[in-house]
Amino acid sequence: MEINIQKKVLQANETEADKNRKFFKDQNVFVLNLMSSPGSGKTQTLCKTLTKLMPGMRVGVIVGDICTTNDADRLAVTGAKVTQINTDQFGGDCHLAAPLILSSAKTLGCEDLDLLIVENIGNLVCPAEFDIGEDAKAVMLSVTEGEDKPLKYPLMFRVADIAILNKIDLLPYLDFDAKLAVNNMKQVHPHLPVFEISAKTEQGLEPWLEWLKIKVFEKTGR
């Protein structure tokens, strides 16, 4: 019974995600869905990413959290167009569903954007199940979370188009085996591109920025 209800919820979301896809195609904007556990460094990475991409690229962010506008406040400093979704009023959902994304994208205004990034709610499980009509999904893992996470939460890594391994500046102080973590990701998703970065020191940011620029160009021609 529970499974049937979940199936219906996901099917309904899929229909809405198709509407989003059409909307984003009409707006000619590339949409990236960035997902991870709480605290992996999504906002920190986006702050650095936006600073480096703008003003050459017009970027907007929809950021989801259960409560607070902390992340929107941090991201707004970059000058990007930012809107915050709080799911507390919808029962504290642990993911962003497609209809919320469409209304937020309309509020934000996508007609003058090249790239729209959705920072999903910190959660390595639920967001992987909800299609939001994005062009690509990125999963972030940080070196403080353990090498085994791709094996324990495989769906997130299976559906991702790219992975980011963040906080590599901390590697000298940890027992974390980065090679093993990457191998675990590839065990779940062979050929998954992995960018190893530090959003703090900016080490490794360039290949990730290049990937984004290419993806935006491939869709928008800009």
Q: Which parts of this chain interact with Mg ion (CB under 5 A)? A: 42-43, 71
Instruction: By CB under 6 A, tell whether 36 contacts ligand GTP.
Output: yes
Sheet containing strand 59-65, strands side by side: 81-86, 59-65, 115-119, 30-36, 136-142, 162-166, 194-196
CB of 1 to Mg ion, least distance (A): 35
- Any contact of residue 127 with ligand GTP (CB under 6 A)? no
- Pick from Mg ion, ligand GTP, none: which does 177 bind, CB < 5 to 8 A by kind? none
* CB of 200 or CB of 215, closer to ligand GTP: 200
Q: What does the alpha-carbon distance between residue 160 and residue 178 come to, in Å, rounded to a whole number?
A: 19
84 binds ligand GTP (CB under 6 A): no
Q: Report whether the peptide linkage leading into residue 154 is cis, meaning its omega lies within 30 degrees of zero.
A: no
> Shortest distance, CB of residue 219 to ligand GTP, whole angstroms?
25
Nearer to Mg ion, 20 or 120 (CB): 120
- Strand segments, DSSP code E, in 102-181 are 115-119, 136-142, 162-166
157, HSE (Cβ side, Cα atoms, 13 Å): 25
Kindly report the backbone phi and psi dihedral angles of residue 130, in degrees, each rounded to the nearest multiple of 5, phi listed first. -110, 105
Binding mask 1-20 for ligand GTP (x = CB under 6 A): --------------------
Q: One symbol per residue from 166 to 205: x for binding ligand GTP (CB under 6 A), - otherwise; what is it?
A: xx-xx---------------------------xxx-----
> Which of 53, 66, 71, 208 lies at the binding interface for ligand GTP (CB under 6 A)?
71
Any residues with CB less than 8 A from the CB of 102 and at least 6 apart, and which? Answer: 16, 19, 20, 23, 133
Q: Degrees (nearest 5) of the Cα angle 41, 43, 44? A: 65
- Other CB atoms within 10 Å distance of the CB of residue 13: 19
CB of 107 to Mg ion, least distance (A): 19
Residue ranges in contact with ligand GTP by CB under 6 A? 36, 38-44, 71, 122, 166-167, 169-170, 198-200
